[in-house]
Amino acid sequence: MPDASLTIYCNARFAEDASRLLRESIGHHRLVCSPSMLQSNLTVPAQEPAARDADVLFGQPHPDDVIQSQRVRWVHLHSAGYTRYDRDDLRQALRQRGALMTNSSSVFDDACAQHVLAFMLAWSRRLPDALLAQTPRHEWAYQQLRRDVRVLTGETGIIFGFGAIARRLVELLAPFRMNLIGVRRQVRGDEPIRTVTVDDADALLPQADHVINVLPAGPDSSGFFTAARLGRMKPTAAFYNIGRGDTVDQPTLIDALTSKRIAAAYLDVTTPEPLPPTDPLWSAPNCYITPHVAGGHQDEQRHLVRHFLDNLRRFERGHQLADRVV
C-alpha cells in the first residue's frame, strides 16, 4: 500500500497557504481539483466524473458520485456534519466495496465547546445586557445587572447529543462544578458524566438551568425540540443550539421567548441559513444569534488539511482512521 499512487479528488476551496500545504504534502499521490470548488460545506456539490474516477475523495463530493464510483476507497469530509451522506444506500455502497468515510469532527470539537462556554458565561454574567446599556445609551446599569448576574457553580446543565463536542464541553465546565447530564440515544457507560436516554431526559428538563443542543441533523432529530419539550423548561432557563437549526421548532422557540416561558436563547444555527433579515427570530426577546461560526478558529483551514494528511498517512499504512463515520 505505501508504494501505491492514489488519485485524490478535492472540491473544497482553501486559502492559498492551506492549498499549498495540501499540494506539497501528499507525496507521490496525484491531486485532482474540481473546477467547481466549494467555498462552504453547506453548498450542494455538483456531480463530477473526476470524483467517480478517484481513489480518495476530500471535501464534499456529491453523494451520487460516492455511490456510483467503483473505484473510491475512502471519502474524507472537511466538515463535522455529514447529513447529506447519512443514507442507507450510500453506506451500503461503501461497505460493498470495503470503502470508508471519515469526517473532520475533531478539528472543530474544541472551538464548538468553547463557543457554548462563551454563550453560557455571556448569559450568566449578563454581558449582552451590559453591552446594550453601553450602546447607545452609555448607561451605568448597576442596580439591574448586579441583581441579575449569576454564577454557573452548582447549576444544572443538560447536554443533548453526547459526542466529541459534548465531551470537550464537560472538560471545560469542570472548574465550575456544575451538575451536568448527558443525553444520547444509547448510553454506552463510558461517559464522564451521568448520561441518560431521551425518554429519561424529558423528565429531567424542568431541573435544568441550561439546555444545550448539540444534536446533528437527521430524521430522528428533525424538530426534536418541540413545544412540549421547550414547555418542560423552567422560565429561568436558557437554551443553546450549536447543533443544527432544523432540530428546533423555531416558531415555537420564538413564542417561548416572547411569552417568557424560557429566559433566553443563544443560537449559532438557524433555519434557514443565512437567516433572512426579516425573520422574526432576530427580534425575539433575549435571543442572541451568531452566524454559524462556532467551529471557526484561527488557522482553521490548515488544521483541516493537516487532519486529512494525518488520516492519509494512516490510510497508506492500513491503520485505523480518525473520525470514521462509515
Show which residues are catalytic: 292
Helix (H) or strand (E) holding 226: none
Identify the bridge partners of residue 127 per DSSP, sorted by sequence position. none
Q: What is the DSSP string of 65-112?
A: HHHH-SS--EEEESSS--GGG--HHHHHHHHHHT-EEE--HHHHHHHH
| DSSP structure class, residue 161 | S
CA-to-CA separations, 216 to 51, 129, 172, 237, 247, in angstroms, rounded: 26, 30, 21, 22, 8
CA proximity to 115, closest of 164, 153, 172: 172
Strand partners of residue 181:
158, 194
- CA atoms of 212 and 174, how far apart (whole Å): 16
